Structure formats: C-alpha cells, structure tokens
Amino acid sequence: MKQEFLLPDLGEGLTEAEIVQWLVAEGDTVTLNQTLAEVETAKAVVELPSPHAGVITTLHAAAGDVVLVGSPLVAFEIEGAEESAPSAAPAAAAPAAEHAEEGSGPNLVGYGAAPSAGRPMRRARRSATVVASAETDVRIAAPHDAIDEAPPVREHRERPRSTPPVRAYAKAQGVDLTLVAAELGDRVITRADVDAYRERIAERTAGFGARPAAEPAAPAPRSVATGERRTTRVPIRGVRKATAEAMVQSAFTAPHVTTFHTVDVTATTELIASLRAGAAADAPRIGVLTVVAKAVCLALGRYPGLNSHWDAEAGEIVQQHFVDLGIAAATERGLIVPIIRDAERMPLGELAGAIAELTRTARSGKTPPADLTGGTFSLTNIGVFGIDAGTPILPPGQTGILALGAVRRMPWEHHGEIALRDVMTLSLSFDHRVVDGAEGSQFLKAVADVLQEPGRAMLLA
C-alpha cells in the first residue's frame, strides 16, 4: 500500500528545510532507518532516516528545493500494509529512545539516524528516466545550446565520499561530486579536488561556448550579465537566513551597550605555554579562548545579571544559576553558536576538550539543533581574524556576549617601566534593560583580573 512521508519538525520548531542531496532514487528498496537524504535546516545539516521499509515510488522535491514542515517528501509502497494517512516523523528524541530499545521503529532524533556499519544495497532503477535528485547533472560540461534546449539528464550513483563543508562548497561552485569521484576513485574528496576538477573542466570546454563550471544553477549564487558580470545573487537560506532574523530581532529588541577593556595577558600566555609544555600528546589543547571561558564562568558567579534574560511576557528578569556557554563559530554555512552545557562545572582541561569537540562538530556541519539553543552567555573570538575589538550583537534571549580581540606583543607599562607585553582588548555587549553600566564594567574588570593573574584566580575556581 502507498504511504506518504511528510517532512517532520527536525527540532526547535523549525518550519522548513532545504534538500541538500538525495541518497536514494525512485524505485529503490529501502530499509527502516536507512538515510534517505541530507537536508539543511536553519541550524544544521541533518541526515533524514526512513520511517518505513519499502519501495520509494515518488520523491516530491529535488535537490535545492525548500520544503515546508508537514509537506509531502517521499511516497513509499509498503508490502502488506494498509493504506493510511500521511505520516511525519516525531520531532522529539524520547520516542526514538523507545524505538532503539524495541528495535522496531525509526530512529528520528532530531538530526537523523546514526550511521550504520554498512548502508543497505539499493536496487537499480529499471526505467531510463531518472528523477532530478541532486545526482549527476550533465549540464556542467555540456555545450550552452544543449543546456538551453534540452532538460537535464540525471542518473543515480552511489554517494561520493566527502564532508558536509566540501559538499556545500562543491554545490556553490556548480560541481557535481559524483563526476569528481568518477575521476578520483574511491577516496574522500577534498576542497582542493573540487577546485582541480573545475580547472580541468574549464580547460576542456574552453572555446566551445560551454557554461563555466563556476556558474552554478539556482539556488546557488548566480551572476547577472549586463555586458560584463557586475553582480552576484546569493539566496538567503538556512543558517544565514536564521542568523539574519535573529540578529535583527536582537538588535531591535534589546538596547545594546558595548564597553571595552584592554588588558595585559602576559601571565595568561605564559601559563598556557607552561601547560602545553607539560601536557600529554593527546591532551586537549588549552588556548586563550579556554582561559577566557573559565574567567567568564567565574565572573558570572559574582555578577549574575550578565547570566540572566529578560522575560517580557512574565515581566521578570530570570537569573540562571548555571552557565550554558555559547561559542560563536564561523562555518562555510554561516555563523552558528553551539552551546557548552554547565560550563561552570568544568575544570580547565575539560573545558578545552569541550571547545575542541564543539569546533570539530561545527566545522563538519553536524551540530545537532538542540546544541544551538538555550545559551545563557556567549563568547566570540574575533582575534583569530586579526581584529582587536568590535561591538558584537547579543544572541536572542541572552544578556551578555564577550568578544576576544587579537593578542598583540606591544610596549606596555609594567611595574612602573615600559616593557613588551602580550596585550588584548575585550569587548562586552550587554542588554541595558537587565544590566546597568556599573555592573557591566565590574564584570568585564573581573574577567580581566583573571587574565592578568590566572594562577591566583584558578585557585578560587
């Protein structure tokens, strides 16, 4: 019998998702929990598992399409089942835990099923016509006239081996990874491989009127020709769209104030060098961000207003007695702020490990949606870009965010003399409804004191 599968709420009330790529095609036989597709929400790239075992009869969307939650996504033919109303996967993680124990239901834990040791083999299609589903697009190297006059012909192939950031980069460049894999063989495709493939295609098609591989089809960035290329249009979707909406909401809701403090952090950099010299090879790497994170946790205990949020509906300021610390991460998909839960309980080494894991997960595009909400205070390290100071915007619902500037070796007053010291600027933005200027300044000074004398401060941790 036929069974429709509706796009589920993938967590935190998300309303839509973009199809990144299909991992199955019409006519395939799939098993329960087999990954059907990768979809991009406003928070993360998500693997979508199958809620049924059966034959796929219809894919209702193509790669690049944006699908609303509750809309038809896949139709199944299920042997021996009675036809029923369309199904949608549960959004919460609790049902998935029950299924995991029973072994009889789909593992829909917000961001998809865990990868299995071996993906089930898919039945080849019998029809010569294949659905347009993020598979091979022969338009990349076809003559321009063929592109305009003939519909794209796509064929199903096994999923190329690459990371989500590389797949996103290839998509933006208009490069089909299945074609790259055909040339490289069975190995993980890198960003350099994508660039090399584009260069080879450009050489092959030079002088034949072919569309350059760098001009991707919608919804990737597209150029508008007016005698010469003068503009590029980039669709506002996914993380970038969600970030923009959140920043506008925050900027026009909370009255922002930013205060700055430049501090001598030589003692901190010396402590870090000493800890690294004596650390085991596999120990988490402690850096300035780790020490600042610890300093912030200590200071929030003394100045809880910075760890509060404004509840307009209840008419209350809610003080939180725990620190769910957000760490801003710049990824190829845009800015995200993953959360370290209960950061105030972590010693320095554990905090360093949590930051390292958070960074790895964010760069791979696999941060679960649940790890991107509920922060109580945030950090953003603009120093890695060589920037000294800025005015960061508060994540919605938070009262404070601290930006770390670059550590610079410069002349500084030290014990009454001028010496070369390691110096950095801290930039604190806070919600002036919750925190006044005095408390914001005192909090920033408390963080700076830890960085000036980290040894003494850590004894109090």
The CATH code of the domain that includes 40 is 2.40.50.100
Cis bond before residue 164 (omega within 30° of 0): no
pTM here is: 0.59
β strands within 320-455, DSSP E? 325-327, 329-331, 334-336, 339-340, 377-381, 400-404, 408-414, 417-431
286-304: average pLDDT:
96
The reply to whether 261 and 291 lie within a common domain is yes
pLDDT at 168: 75
Residue 384 has a pLDDT of 94
Q: Are residues 321 and 411 in the same domain?
A: yes
The pLDDT assigned to 194 comes to 84
Q: What is the mean pLDDT of residues 35-47?
A: 82
pLDDT score recorded for residue 92: 36
Q: 54 with 148, same domain?
A: no
Q: What is the pLDDT of residues 83-121, one digit of tens each?
A: 556 665 544 333 333 333 334 444 443 333 333 434 333
Residue 397: give its domain's CATH number.
3.30.559.10
Q: What is the mean pLDDT of residues 379-408?
A: 96
How is residue 151 written in tokens? 């519909």
Residue pLDDT, tens place only, 120-166: 333 333 333 333 333 333 333 333 333 333 334 444 445 677 776 77
3-state secondary structure labels for all residues of 29-57: EECCCCEEEEEECCCCEEEEECCCCEEEE
Same domain, 177 and 295: no
Q: Do 315 and 358 belong together in one domain? A: yes
Confidence of residue 400 (pLDDT cuts 50, 70, 90): very high
Measured distance CA(400)–CA(377) in Å, rounded: 6
Give, as one character, the DSSP assignment of residue 158: P
Tell me the C-alpha distance between 157 and 133, whole Å.
11
pLDDT at residue 132 in the model: 34
pLDDT value of position 452 = 95
Is 446:298 a contact under the CB 8 Å cutoff? yes
407/300 same-domain check: yes
Average pLDDT over residues 353-367: 90
Domain boundary residue, one of 183, 206, 235: 235
Q: What percent of the chain has pLDDT over 90?
A: 46
Between these two residues, 458 and 142, which has the higher pLDDT value?
458
Domain range for 69 is 1-132
140 and 128 within one domain: no
Q: Are 227 and 286 members of one domain? A: no
Q: Is residue 181 located within the same domain as residue 244?
A: no
State whether 307 and 405 are in the same domain.
Answer: yes
| Across 25-49, average pLDDT | 86
- The pLDDT-based confidence of 210 (bands split at 50, 70, 90) is very low
User: pLDDT, tens digit, for every residue of 404-435?
Assistant: 999 999 999 999 999 999 999 999 999 999 99
Handedness of CA 77, 81, 82, 86 (dihedral sign): negative
Same structural domain, 147 and 275: no
The last residue of one of the domains, among 132, 167, 187, is: 132
The residue out of 108, 132, 156 marking a domain boundary is 132
Catalytic annotation, residues:
432
Residue appearing with tokens 């944006």: 66
Positive or negative, the CA dihedral 16, 21, 27, 33 is negative
pLDDT of residue 221: 57
Please tell me the least confidently modeled range out of 183-197, 278-292, 339-353, 368-382.
183-197
274 shares its domain with 206: no
State how many domains the chain has. 3
